[in-house]
Amino acid sequence: MLFSLSHLVLSTYKSDDFEKKNAELIGKVEDERNEAERSEEFTIRAGVYVNDQLFEDHKALLTFIYYEGDEVGVEFSTEPQLNSIVMYGVRTDERTIQVAEEYTGVVATLTWDNENEVTVTCSGEFTGMDSALFDKMVNTHYTLESEL
């Protein structure tokens, strides 16, 4: 009976030691994974984004004119220049910027699909002579042409 009791105590000790080492290893792996995820934070690349399929003779451009912290200014324009509109706003999450046109209240949401491609959606309605031009430019997809 003494052999059984000491065997039980020894196996309990080994089991507790194993569980402790296993918990430490799991914690270490989770810490490494969390650190890797933090270092892979998505970066919105400030630059000139282009869509050359919207117009027959022009490129639609989305250009960062201001990007500091979470505050952003973008310009929607064409090349060659027909007209442009500037909108300001903020970064709302890791992959999204929301900008607004101050006179019409139009809100454009820029959502990055990856580091080089952004999809622009819009709520509200542009007014004025070039409203059809801008309406076409804000509900589409752009690709990074050059980084600032």
7-43 confidence digits (pLDDT tens): 544 455 556 776 777 677 677 767 666 555 544 678 8
Tokens linked to 146:
């050059």
Of 24, 28, 48, 25, which is closest to residue 36 (Cα–Cα)? 28
Q: What is the pLDDT of residue 52?
A: 93
Q: CA 61 to CA 51: how far, in whole Å? A: 7
Q: Is the pTM of this model over 0.75?
A: no
